[in-house]
Structure 1
Amino acid sequence: MERIDIGGGAQHAGLAKRHPKAILALAILTLFTILSYADRMVIVLLVDPIRLDLGIDDVQVSLLTGVAFALCFGLASLPLAWVADRYSRRWVIYGGVTVWSLATAAGGIANGFGELFMARFFVGVGEAALAPAAFAMIPDLFPKKQVARATGILASAAALGGGMAILGGGFLVSATEAVGTAVLPLAGETRPWQMVFLILGLPGLALALLTFLLPGRTSPRTLPHTGTENFNAPALAESGPDIAPSATDALPASYLSWLKQNWLFVGGLSIGCSALAALAYGLTSWTPTYLSRVFGLSMAEVGVTLGLVQMLCGLVGYIGGGTLIDWMEARGIRNAPHRYLMFASIVAMVAAVGGFYFAGSIAVAMVFIGIYHLAAPFNSPMVVAMQKGAPAAFRGQAIALTTMIATLIGLLAGPTAMALFTEDVFGDPVKVGWSVASVGLVCGVVAFVSLAISYGPALRAREALDEAGEG
């Protein structure tokens, strides 16, 4: 294996060259992320069947699409990130894939709101286990100049998973509805929407075994002052340590100390991305219903139309955003992730208002929705900001904290706020688009202001890493 160069001025806890298993690892992690988002997002196609079958309203639906996932994610993400930073990232990921796959399948045997809520609750283990461990691996596998692009590729799996859930899920919903209620072994009488959960959930149990192809520890040794996994321990053992005596002296000794010093950087980034997350989760949850209620599209038509737009535009947004950030950084434009997020927040806000309030036809709506998905991917730049601003020793926990805050607030606030606007403010299910636009306007302003406040502190955090030889 190639040696990790962590000398003065070098990339701390990273590789001078790409790790031999980097591409394989990125492919597996991307596959898992696609699976996670597909299992998580397919429920948005099943809103009306579930609502009618279980006798629930839009607010209760929003609890299933947002709050249930967010509660589990909020409880599990930081403890799992702590385990991943100190022990085996592979076992954390394997456990996450297995649990969320079982939870998705469990939705196929749920017969009431409470049972389905608990099933969707445990789907949250997937994001809590996978995201921090996977994103923390990237700087250990790819050289510094490729980190943002690799992160963008991994994050693009969200667009792929969400798009495939909409595209494939639309056909799957139509196919199961054609079959009607069926009696299945063990599951018993199963309705069409329940079949969708069973079909999507069970394959994940086999795919979880791919986890053990990921690179793991080759030695119990860890990098000095970090506790992160050392993928190249034999090389370090042969060559001896190559760390300047003062390389880490400028950094706090504990994660809490670092967090206290950089609270404005972390807090502003988290709040800004939380606002973007609220818009993203709310818009994604209610777009199929909007297209169905306002323009009369069937779920199969929604699957083809929205699925293709979301997948293609999302892929360009994720991968293009990561590539652009790498390009900006290579040309000396510091704090590129923040610059990108501030610009994207304005574009996303305008697209949400245009596509859900002013659009008078399906064509105009889809153009704005496409523009939104180009600008929407906030989690990749957010993770890159943490990768470049947090010390290697705390990277997993720093990513987990910002991801947890953004996901928790986004899922709790976005879908439910839009449902409340529809029911209590506008009082008309057909005006769900007005609700998306209203929440989008507020979220865009909050995101831009919060990111602007954290811009300077983020620069200072990166300067501290440069001084410590981790920049």
Structure 2
Amino acid sequence: MQNRPYYAVLLLAALYVISYVDRLILTLLVDPMKADLGISDLQVGLLIGPAFAILFSVIGLPVAWLIDRGNRTKYLAAGIILWSLSTLLAGYASSFAMLFALRMGLAVGESVLAPAAISLIGDLFPRDKRAAPSAIFIAAGTTGVMLAYVVGAAALDLARSGALATLPLIGALPAWRQTLVLIALLGFLIAPLLILTVPEPTRGAMEPVSTDRATSAEATESRVGIFLNRSDAVRFYGCFFIGNAILGTMLYGALAWYPTHLIRSQNMAPAQAGYLFSTALALGVVLTILFPTLSQRLARSGRRDILMRIPLVIIPIGLLLFIAALLQHSLLGASLLMGLGFSLLSAINALPSITVPLTAPPALRGRLVAMVQFCNSIISLSLGAYLVALLAQTRFPGPAGLGQAMLTIALIAGPIAWILYACAWRPYRRATIA
């Protein structure tokens, strides 16, 4: 494995893409699923948000504790099988309660992926070379967001064409159910490949070994990763993770409901909305890789705190574009503005998981990534999709209600997130110039 670390990164990235496709596919299936199961927008919001997010956040911490001590590739393979099986069975769910339970199973399986992957990457690359592979993995999440709509729309088109009608077990299912079954097969194909080709690396093998015998034990013990003391580390990770999760609230709300907003406000077909939204998100993949890679190069030239300076500039720009998209009546204008704004903000939203391998000690990486997931799940995933549905149903009824709800959340969440990022920048700056 040490001779081909980028192969492992690409395989982990492929899994991250698949996980997002499984997670977000329901957003393209809202109307046929509602009609089949007799459920409301609010219940759909619960399926997309809390049904997944609450257990995802709670189970993530004990799972990360196991990952920091056990065989990461075996835990990850088990997680892949569980989330793929949950998606498969969702295609046969006969009630809201059953679909809710299967979304919880999806959450348990996917909770393994990011902590295991970030921990593995930390043991495959030395610290000064981790930014690029970490960024590739995290960018795969943005790619997964994009492909969730491309793959989902393609699978939905295939199912609606009748091409699957003669297949056993799924041929008689409605198109939205066939789509879920097709998507589930991707994970089952990758899990064996992971076990057979990615052995477990040695923990801490890539950490720098200090040769300065004059360094006192007291000074060494006072540090937490790159930070000078525990107080700075707590302030950095606390403000960074919570600010990031608040920013994610508006992003996850858009992921869950923007395609449906296009369907209802622009009279688009679900597959067309999926293709359009995925195209608008493509820039985010490039930016997610570009920001940390560029910042690491600039850091070598003396601007060591640049990684945390970038969000302070990009968040206001992305927020203005995001808001402008929701105020735009033209389909082309709204798509271009949303693509730019969402891509900038989603690249910033990916920074915590990229930053953990650069700042944290090996024994804490899995748990810190789990804390990122915990904050994102409790705040972003739980509230994003649900709040949009709640505001649209209670405050903004009508075809434009989803857009007005997303706009309201953006106006509140964006400024709060920027303030917390600014608070996180100060301890990071002290650590990088020390």
- 1:42/1:166 contact within 8 Å kept: yes
Equivalenced residues, count: 428
What CA deviation, in whole Å up to 9, does each residue of 1:236-265 have, x standing for no partner? 9xxxx876555875235999xx76663221
Identity of aligned residues (%): 29
Counterpart pick for 2:179 among 175, 187, 196: 196
- Range 145-154 or range 246-255, more displaced: 246-255
Residue 377 of structure 1: aligned partner: 347
- Range 334-343 or range 403-412, more displaced: 334-343
- 1:50/1:193 contact within 8 Å kept: yes
What CA deviation, in whole Å up to 9, does each residue of 1:408-465 have, x standing for no partner? 31011111111111111112243211111111121111110111122212334556xx
User: Structure 2: how far apart are the matches of 1:118 and 1:445?
Assistant: 35
Equivalent residue letter for 2:357: Q
- Range 276-285 or range 380-389, more displaced: 380-389
Counterpart pick for 1:137 among 120, 126, 140: 120
User: Structure 2: how far apart are the matches of 1:360 and 1:386?
Assistant: 40
What CA deviation, in whole Å up to 9, does each residue of 1:58-109 have, x standing for no partner? 1111111111111221122111111111111111211111111111111111
- 2:321/2:338 contact within 8 Å kept: yes
Equivalent residue letter for 1:387: P
Residue 369 of structure 2: aligned partner: 399
Residue 315 of structure 2: aligned partner: 345
Residue 286 of structure 1: aligned partner: 257
Q: Which runs of 5+ in 1 are unaligned?
A: 2-18, 219-228, 467-471
- 1:341/1:381 contact within 8 Å kept: no
The CA deviation at 1:291 is 0.9
- C-alpha distance 320-217 of structure 1, shift in aligned 2 (>3 A): closer
User: Structure 1: how far apart are the matches of 2:126 and 2:430?
Assistant: 23
After superposition, the CA RMSD in angstroms is 2.7
User: Structure 1: how far apart are the matches of 2:22 and 2:422?
Assistant: 34
User: Structure 2: how far apart are the matches of 1:129 and 1:68?
Assistant: 17
- C-alpha distance 232-321 of structure 1, shift in aligned 2 (>3 A): closer
User: What are the residue-to-residue correspondences of 1:166-177 with 2, within 5 Å?
Assistant: 166-177=149-160
The CA deviation at 1:346 is 1.6
User: What are the residue-to-residue correspondences of 1:158-173 with 2, within 5 Å?
Assistant: 158-173=141-156
User: Structure 1: how far apart are the matches of 2:60 and 2:217?
Assistant: 27
Residue 277 of structure 1: aligned partner: 248
- 2:224/2:361 contact within 8 Å kept: no
- 1:217/1:230 contact within 8 Å kept: no
- Range 182-191 or range 71-80, more displaced: 182-191
Counterpart pick for 2:419 among 429, 436, 449: 449
Equivalent residue letter for 1:22: P
Residue 329 of structure 1: aligned partner: 299
Residue 362 of structure 1: aligned partner: 331
- 2:87/2:183 contact within 8 Å kept: yes
- 1:418/1:432 contact within 8 Å kept: yes
- C-alpha distance 91-136 of structure 1, shift in aligned 2 (>3 A): same
- 1:340/1:381 contact within 8 Å kept: no
Counterpart pick for 1:433 among 377, 398, 403: 403
What CA deviation, in whole Å up to 9, does each residue of 1:14-55 have, x standing for no partner? xxxxx4221111111011111111111111100111122222
- C-alpha distance 260-90 of structure 1, shift in aligned 2 (>3 A): farther
The CA deviation at 1:324 is 2.2
User: Structure 2: how far apart are the matches of 1:183 and 1:111?
Assistant: 22
- Range 427-436 or range 22-31, more displaced: 427-436
- 1:353/1:438 contact within 8 Å kept: no
- 2:30/2:260 contact within 8 Å kept: yes
- C-alpha distance 149-412 of structure 1, shift in aligned 2 (>3 A): same
TM-score, length-scaled by structure 1:
0.84
TM-score, length-scaled by structure 2:
0.90
Equivalent position SS for 1:134: helix
Counterpart pick for 2:13 among 30, 39, 43: 30
Counterpart pick for 1:57 among 40, 49, 55: 40
Equivalent position SS for 1:272: helix
What CA deviation, in whole Å up to 9, does each residue of 1:378-410 have, x standing for no partner? 343112332233222212212221232123310
- 1:388/1:462 contact within 8 Å kept: no
User: Structure 2: how far apart are the matches of 1:193 and 1:361?
Assistant: 29
- 2:82/2:109 contact within 8 Å kept: yes
The CA deviation at 1:288 is 0.6
Residue 268 of structure 1: aligned partner: 239
User: Structure 2: how far apart are the matches of 1:261 and 1:343?
Assistant: 23
User: Structure 1: how far apart are the matches of 2:279 and 2:183?
Assistant: 19
2:62 pairs with 1:79: yes
What CA deviation, in whole Å up to 9, does each residue of 1:80-139 have, x standing for no partner? 111111111111211111111111111111011111111111111343101011112223
Counterpart pick for 1:216 among 186, 200, 203: 200
Equivalent residue letter for 1:151: S
User: What are the residue-to-residue correspondences of 1:232-251 with 2, within 5 Å?
Assistant: 244=212, 246=215, 249=218, 250-251=220-221
User: Structure 1: how far apart are the matches of 2:295 and 2:110?
Assistant: 24
Residue 301 of structure 1: aligned partner: 272
Equivalent position SS for 2:108: helix
Equivalent residue letter for 2:274: G
